[in-house]
Amino acid sequence: MSGLQSLVNQNCEKTTSSIPIKNHIKSHIFIFNLINQHCLFFFQMTALRWLCVSVALVACVSAQLCPWQNDHPELSSACLCATNLAREVSIQCDLVDWPLLLGALKRHLPPGPGPVVDLLYVSNSTVRSLPADVLAGVRRVRSLQMSGCKIEKIETGAFRGHEGSLKNLNLQDNLLDSVPVAALRPLRNLTLLDLSRNKLNRVAQDSFSSLGSLATLKLADNELTLEPGAFHGLEGSLRNLNLKGTRQKRLPEAVRGLRALAFLDLAQNGLRELPSSGAAAGRNLQGLDSLTAINLERNLIQSVAPDAFAGVADTLSSLSLLNNLLTDFPTPAVSTLKELRVLDIGFNLITSLPTDAFNGTPSLTLLALDGNPLASVAESSLVRLNSTLRGLSIGGRFLKCDCKLKWLANWLKNGELQVTSRERAPQFCGEPPRLRDRTFAAIQPEELSCEATNEVEDASSAIIENAIPVLAVAAPSSTTSTTTSSTTEATTTPSTTPSTTTTTTTTTSAPVRSTTTSATTTTTTTTARPTTTTTTQRTRLTGSANVIVSKPPLTTAVPIPRIVSTAAPRAQIPIVKQKPALILGGTHRHGMEDDDDEVLA
């Protein structure tokens, strides 16, 4: 059991050091599954397995009364406390009296050789400032989170006494207008720094140069100007950089040379193209030798240059271009990414996929195309991914599920592919209507027929024919033996009665010999009241031919609210159907809800 106990200790330490107390129930579920798997591996007997799980759950986190419970009962409603196997205490307080809490910490958890404070989490409290030595009288803290505390200033020496122990510092949702460089400088072991959602407007050169162990830096949702060299000193340690919502209009030059960086988040920044115009653009991703994932979702990107990812073509495995303004699939840029495994290009304006779209991505495993106005996806576009693709996100109100998608249904039926959609319904098929409420998994290949689609189109045409006035034109019916040139004028003259349609048509034919020429004009009138329409046809022949003038009798439309057509008596009138203009639906919300702090992904 010693190996199992060690495993429990390791997982408990990881869990309690990174999450608040109120979320420990979620960690219980995670640890339950993890330990159960290990118990299944080591023990095949059910009784021993459940004994193992019970020991793990009880040993991992033990809720208890806070040390100051008897002295400060007023803190009991604001704070929760717990300890892990190493007797390290975790404290979470919400809407707490900060001076009162600070006094209780100094009295009951003074500096000493005992276990460290694994987590001190203070939220939604009024702190305003952290003066020098504010935590000097408190036992060493490993993780400090003070979010939503209205902190405006952090003085030099604020973390004195915790320089060696403090590894995680979360100061999000405060009122800091500058990076507290002097206060951060002594934190040589800091691995995570979160300054998201403050009032920062500038990151100067060498702001983090003393934080040689920093692996994760979050600056999201600040209107930042990043000076060149802003991340100097982090080249060998920084692996995760979050610049989401920092108003970057181009790829920031400051990220160049971060050779350890694995994940770069540039979502919601207003980027319009890749690479953006500028002297340094196109080179700003160079030197990122370890970059495996980049999030560019919810920008305004309209084009991607062929060499946009030239600096990371050999390492990039995950790319998100979700919710941008791309009208064409960026084939030249994507084809250079030989290691790409995840591509999210959903909710753009792409109407078709080229057949060579994925020629250069032989390892692609997950592909998201949903939310684009794609009427269909040709098998030839994805045929090269047959052996690697395991997840496909597709569908929406534009997609026609007909015989052209039968190949996809067969692929899905074979169990080699999972198909999903992030549309709101979720809606997989836009047409035909009988498949709109069905998932791809529930649609059989034999149900995908082009005849079904044609039936819908014929029905739509019938509705259009009965709802829209039709202009009918008859074929010619008079003969002239010898003609040098001819001009035919057909004039429809309305009477004085309201709601009468007037149409004028002029046809000119070139000189021919022994040519059959005639013109017939049909007037179509839709009205609810009696209407009189007069049609006059005159045929003028120049040269040696005679002049023929004919006037058909007066025609009165039937006074009913229907389409009435007056045709020539000699020939059957071929009907020319007039189709209405394409009308898109109401305001389309381009993409999903805005908060992903949770994408790009």
CA atoms within 13 A on the CB side of 525: 30
**Crossing angle for the helix pair 46-60 and 2-16, to the nearest 10 degrees:** 40
How much of the chain exceeds pLDDT 70, in percent?
62
DSSP code string of 537-566: EEEEEETTS--EEE-PPPEEE-SSSSEEE-
Least confident of 125-129, 405-409, 491-495: 491-495
Band the pLDDT of 443: cuts 50, 70, 90: confident
Same domain, 183 and 157: yes
Kindly state whether residue 278 falls inside one of the protein's structural domains: no
Quick check: 525 and 531 in contact, CB under 8 A? yes
Same domain, 360 and 430: yes
At 276 the pLDDT is 60
Same domain, 97 and 50: no
Q: Which tokens in the block code for residue 257? A: 């040379």
Range of the domain at 42: 2-60
Count how many domains the chain has: 3
CA 230 to chain CA centroid, nearest Å? 29
Q: What are φ and ψ of residue 30, in 5° steps?
A: -60, -45
Least confident of 255-259, 262-266, 364-368, 469-473: 469-473
The domain boundary, picked from 181, 202, 223, lies at 202
Band the pLDDT of 338: cuts 50, 70, 90: very high
For the stretch 553-569, pLDDT in tens is: 444 444 444 444 444 44
Alpha helices in 226-361 (DSSP H): 331-334
Kindly state whether residue 118 falls inside one of the protein's structural domains: yes
The average confidence (pLDDT) of the chain is 74
Same domain, 92 and 9: no
CA 356 to chain CA centroid, nearest Å? 24
Distance CA 483, CA 566 (A): 30
Comparing 426 with 428, the larger pLDDT belongs to: 428
Band the pLDDT of 437: cuts 50, 70, 90: confident
Distance CA 209, CA 232 (A): 6
Kindly state whether residue 78 falls inside one of the protein's structural domains: yes
At 278 the pLDDT is 52
Which CATH number covers residue 438? 3.80.10.10
pTM of structure: 0.67
Same domain, 47 and 117: no
Comparing 402 with 275, the larger pLDDT belongs to: 402
At 510 the pLDDT is 42
Same domain, 16 and 88: no
At 21 the pLDDT is 45
At 426 the pLDDT is 64
Segment of 10-14, 121-125, 567-571 carrying the highest mean pLDDT: 121-125
Kindly state whether residue 94 falls inside one of the protein's structural domains: yes
Same domain, 9 and 32: yes
Distance CA 316, CA 147 (A): 33
Kindly state whether residue 406 falls inside one of the protein's structural domains: yes
Comparing 202 with 477, the larger pLDDT belongs to: 202
Residue among 266, 232, 231 nearest 249 (CA): 266
For the stretch 22-51, pLDDT in tens is: 444 343 333 334 334 433 333 333 444 444
| Section 354-372 average pLDDT | 94
For the stretch 69-78, pLDDT in tens is: 888 888 988 9
Kindly state whether residue 572 falls inside one of the protein's structural domains: no
Same domain, 21 and 106: no
The residues pairing with 486 across neighbouring beta strands, listed in sequence order, are 509, 541
Comparing 546 with 392, the larger pLDDT belongs to: 392
Kindly state whether residue 260 falls inside one of the protein's structural domains: no
Band the pLDDT of 589: cuts 50, 70, 90: very low
For the stretch 236-267, pLDDT in tens is: 999 999 999 999 999 999 999 999 999 999 99
Segment of 234-238, 385-389, 421-425 carrying the highest mean pLDDT: 234-238
Distance CA 61, CA 56 (A): 9
356 has pLDDT over 90: yes
The domain boundary, picked from 202, 229, 255, lies at 202
Least confident of 184-188, 197-201, 353-357, 425-429: 425-429
At 584 the pLDDT is 34
Same domain, 48 and 90: no
Same domain, 158 and 99: yes
The domain boundary, picked from 454, 478, 502, lies at 478
The CA-atom distances, in angstroms, between 193 and each of 228, 364, 414 are 20, 33, 47
Q: Tokens 């003038």 correspond to what residue?
A: 549
Same domain, 45 and 101: no
Band the pLDDT of 388: cuts 50, 70, 90: very high
CA 357 to chain CA centroid, nearest Å? 20
Kindly state whether residue 407 falls inside one of the protein's structural domains: yes
Least confident of 225-229, 280-284, 441-445: 280-284
Same domain, 51 and 68: no
